[in-house]
Every structure is written in C-alpha cells, then in structure tokens.
A and B are shown apart, each in its own frame.
Chain A
Amino acid sequence: MLGRLSGLLTKEFTQFLRDPVMLFIVVFFYTAELVMCTLALGFDVQNLKLGVIDHDRSETSRALVRELTSGGSFVLADEFTVMGQAQGRLQRGALDVVVEIPANFATRVAAGRRTSIGVVVDGSNGNVAARARAYVIELSARFAQERLGAASGRKRGVQPEVRVWYNPDLTNTRFMALSMLAQAGLILGVVLPAAAIVREKQAGTIEQLRVTPIRAHELFIAKVAPTISVCMGAIFPALLVVTLMGVPMRGDVPTLLLLTFIFLLSAVSIGVFVASVSSTLQQAMLLGFFGLFPLMFLSGTIAPIESMPPWLQIVSEASPLRHYVEIVSGLFLKGAGMGELWPHAVALLAISAPMFFGAWLLFRRQW
C-alpha cells in the first residue's frame, strides 16, 4: 500500500538526513576523498634523476645525453667518473637512473657498429623503474635511428606517429577522479543500506515494525531506495567536481544514470547481505569496507587488469565495479555510448539482477 510505503520512505530519508555519521561518509567519499586522491595521485612520472658516467666525452656521447634529457622524462642530476660513486647515490634514492657510456662510443657509432651503453635503474620503486626503463629504451632507439640515418646519409626508416587518445597529457588525474567516483558509489551503495538495516536491528525497532502491517517488500524498498537515490543524486555534484578537475564530460547523462542505477542494484544487494550477517553497526561497517576490498582491487582502479594473471582477470569479470569503471571511463573519457558499452552493460545487468533477487530473498527470509 502506497500510504505505508511513503510513510516508510519519509522515515528513512528523515533518519538518513539526521545521521551525522552517514552524512559525513557521503560527503567524505564524494568530495574529500575524491579531490584528495585526484590531486595527490596524479602519478605523473617526470623529471627522473639521471646520473651519467661518460667515459667517452665525445660530441656523440653528449648528443646521447641531450637526447635522453630532451623531453621531460629525465633531468641530468650529476656526472660521475666511476660507477662506484653513483652507486651510493642510487642506494640513497638520490638518483633514479644511471647511464654509463663506454670509452669508444663515438667511434663505434660512427662506424655503424653495435655499441652497448650501460643503464642502471633503481628498481626499488617498481612503478618508477618500469617507466624509466621504457623511456631509456625508447630514447636510445630514437637516437640510434637518427644516427643510422645520419650515417647512411639519407632519411629512412619508420616514422612513428604515436597518439594518446582520451587522455593526451597522460596524467592519472582523470582516471583517478573517475575511479574514485565509481568507488564512492560502491562503498556508499553498500554501507548506507547495511547501516540503515542494522541500526534498526540494534535499536530493536525492527521488531516494532514487524508488529505493524508493513510488508517485507515495503521495508525492503524503503531501505534500498534512499541509497539509490542519494547515490544517483550525488552523481551531479560529483560530476561538477570532476569537471572542475578537468575531466571532460563527453557522454550521455541518461545512459550514465541508467547504468549507474543497474550498478547500484548490485551494491545495495551487497549491503543487504552484509546487514543480514551483522548485528551491530560497526560490524556492518567493517564487513562493508573490508568485504569490498577484493571487489575494488579487481576493478582495475588500483592496478590495470591486463597486467593481472589470467585467472584473476577472469575473476575480475564478476566484479560489478570493473564493468562500471569501464562504463564511466568509456562515457567520460572516450565519448562512447551504448553502441560500444553494451557488453559491459549486459555484464553489469547479469551480475546485478541475480544479486538483487538474492538479496530480496534473504531479506524476506529474515523478516
């Protein structure tokens, strides 16, 4: 009956708006966390500190060093005469990369003979090391091609035209903002309904509701509807924040809302599961936060999915967040629409629908 349902919904919204903890969590995840992470975790690896040991001291060797430091990737930090000197600096973290150019470098290059240069990368930060290694290989290949061309006296070879789409300046900022947006949806989608249900259990009011003519499905709807509407409503201010952080909104808002709705169905289902096994609010929150951890992990927001082992990649298909992240980044960064994103939408629906149904069955059984 509509009267009962609207009474329940009024109550749920009133309680939600008066709960400082829940309001804090909503605001925190949609603003503070989102802004902090986006600002701080741009992860733009630039200006790596390069140490040079130039045994050759020729024009060619200097050209190589210039080549390496020409872009923004490396800055020349220091020069050494022997490796031993550089080693200590490397160990202290004062250098990221050391390049050692052999004595007969210029002659060998001029003669078109193969020449090795020694490169040492500090591997203790694997992230940085992976990039540093790729940059050195790229830049020395470019240097080699130019020299080869110069030696043979004609322009030749492949002209690489590398374009980075969707995020031309290659910062992590945009993706970070979007994944935080998606994560916020998941965390809140789980924690809010779980808290709303467990709070009633804890206060004993659920018993009081059970002696009224309220039906299980009415309470179920009243418990999940506020979360879904709050999370969908929060999309708009969050979008504003995200836009301020420089993420262009290229996609279609109705599509976003529709898919967000499907995504939230799975999140609130997890919330209902969590509530059914917890008896206190902090149990529910602990379970909520930690239970979500694997899901977040397998969503590609922390580490790219394609670098995971194949079995984990398969497992990650079951994470609703993974598909949602693909959808959000598709919509925002790539300007994709349903035409491109339908496989993720279908997967999301295939995950959410049974979960939601399962949550409902569980809720009704416990009623």
Chain B
Amino acid sequence: MFTIKPVLSSLMRSRTGPLLLLLQIVLSVAIVANAGFIIQERLALMQRSSGIAEQSVLSFSLYNFGEKVNLPQQLKRDLEILRNIPGIKAATSTNMLPLSGSGWSDRFIDGPDPETAKSTPGFAWYLGGEQMVDTLGVNVIEGRNFRADELNHSITDSGMKALMSAPLAKEVFGEESAVGQIMYQGSDNQIEIIGVVEVLQGAWVDSDQFDYSVIQNIELNENRSNQFMVRADRRDVPALEETIKQALRAENPDRVIRNFNTLRELKDMSYAFHAVMAGMLSIMIILLLVITSLGLSGMVMFNIQRRTKQIGTRRALGARKRDIVGMFLVENWLICFSGGLLGGLLAMELGSQLMTLFSLPMMGWQWPAMTVAGLLVITTVAVLLPARKAALISPAIATRTV
C-alpha cells in the first residue's frame, strides 16, 4: 500500500528538514534511553528490601549532660521506662541507625592470628540489646537470637554472640552453615555466630556491602550519648515522641532528647538524592518528548504548506486521502527508524562512556530499543494530525498557478 521509494527520493531532495528531525531523534534516543536506564536503576535501588519494619520503628537520640549520672544504671532505667510505655512492643539501645547514612562498620577475621587470618568483607556493625531483632522486625531464619542474660556491655568482653545477615553469611561461609562458626576481632576476641537473619541492610545506601550486617550482643552503657529504637504499631508512632520525652524527662531532666525519626523517614532522607535524580530525569524525559513531538508537528505542517501544490496534484491524479496520510507516515517512520538506529548506537556509546566515567552498570540494548518504539508511537500521533489536514487539500489546487 505505502510505497517507500518515492518517499525516500523526496526525502533525499529536501535534505535540511528531515536531517534536523533525524538529529533530534538521534539526540532524543540517546537522552531518553540513558535517562530511563538511570531512573530504572535508581528505583531498583530504592525498592530493595531493608528487612526492617521501617514505618513501625521510631528512633531518637538522648544525651545525658547531668554531672553525677551513673550511666549504666541510667540506661537500664531508660530501657525499662521505654518498654513500659503502652504501645511500645520492643525497645533497644543501639550504636547506629539503619539506613541513616552514618554508623559503624567493621570486619571479622576467621582466625586468631591477624597475620594469616582471612578478613570478611566490611559490614554494618549493630550493637544492641536482645530486643533489637524484634524492634527492627528482622526475620531470624537460622539459629537463634541472643538472650538478655547473654548481653555484654563493652566490646572487649568475652562471650560475644552475633547474628549475621544471610548475604554476608553466604559470602563468608558459602554453602556451609554460619551458625556455630567462630570469628575473631584481633587475636583475643572470639565471636560465635548464633543466628542468621534473612535481610538486614546497613546505614549507607550506596555501599557495595549494604546487605552485609552483623548484630552483636553488646549494649554499650558508658556513653553520655545514646541512640534508641522502639517498635510500635504504625498508628501509635506519631504520638510516641511526646510520650517518650515526658517519660524520660520525668526520670531525669538533665538531658537532651531529640532527632525523632521513623526508619522510613531516615530511609527517605538517605535516598533523597536518588529520588530527586529519578524525578528530574523523569521530568526531563517528559519535556523532551513534548518538545520533540511539538517540533515534529510544526515541521510537518510547514512541509505540507510547502508541498500544497504537490499534494493537490497527487490528489488530482487519484491519490486517496489515506494515501496522502500514508505518505507522511511512511516519511516519518523512515526518519524515525534511521534516527532510532543512529540514536541507539549513540546511546549505547554514551552509556558505555557513563559507565567508565561514573561506575554505572552497562545499559542493555533494550533501553534504546524501547525508546525508539516509544518515539515511533509519539511521532506517529504528532504526524497524524497535520497529515490529516494535508489530506483535505483540494485537488483543484493543482490547476491554479501558484
């Protein structure tokens, strides 16, 4: 029905317009493919499971500035108070907050001699009480959690027990079970792995070792400054800030209690840059498509005006309206395909440049392909409107001397 050859030859003759369209499509494909890929990558990052009941965990920090305060006693009291507040299901002190962008990281070694032992990858090192597992809502899939009577209060104590996140356990022990393994810190400190939790992310969302975590049975109680996490029903969380402040101030007024955040809020802050990046790129893609399709419509309209007589003659010679519309569509598709091909190549090249420059993973060919497909649809719509207008040109035009 549509004959490509005459369209092609007319394209070859009026070079500038089609060339501009081609250029525009090449650039658009390069941008949209790469931006789409980056967006998808960022969204995937944000959708990883943290293993935590993020919205049900409220965190805050507490600083004792009172002069004569018995810190270990105070911590014990504070935890008791927290655990007795109605609505709080579990509470723990912690050395770091998941997903917060700041925290402790460490490594274990697999033998007592630091010279010969092999080191594990770095992991987020959570130190807290026996309720940490329940507070976070992480899932112990193997072994067990530690008990209250197993708690240590200093990192040099003996009887260290730890839970590992499953990805870390797999990385360190392979198919072997992690439970029962002994790890070391320095030559003296032995740590027994007593359990594996399914998923627990660390503090740094951009870390390669984000899924590697360890929870150890240490409730640090010699610091003026402490962080806490409490678990409650999601609905009860908003009211808790005031309740907690009042309860803890009633016990001892000489402290600053602040930084109340749910872990979801911390997560959102940590991912804010990624979210903004994804948002900006999405807006960019939308605007780009709008501009491209508007520009395309404008050019086609101009083409039609310029070729009014030609179209009239074609009509006089028996072309049906759909033949005229078809002519413009074929023209558009030709440009779109060739532009898409070139643009796809440029996009892949750009992608590989980005990869080497910015440690981005390599973009698959699907991205440019999808972009070309999308552009095809959009440009078809953009061409269809002016093309239908062109089809209305009266054959009588041909007989007038214009």
Partners in one complex: no
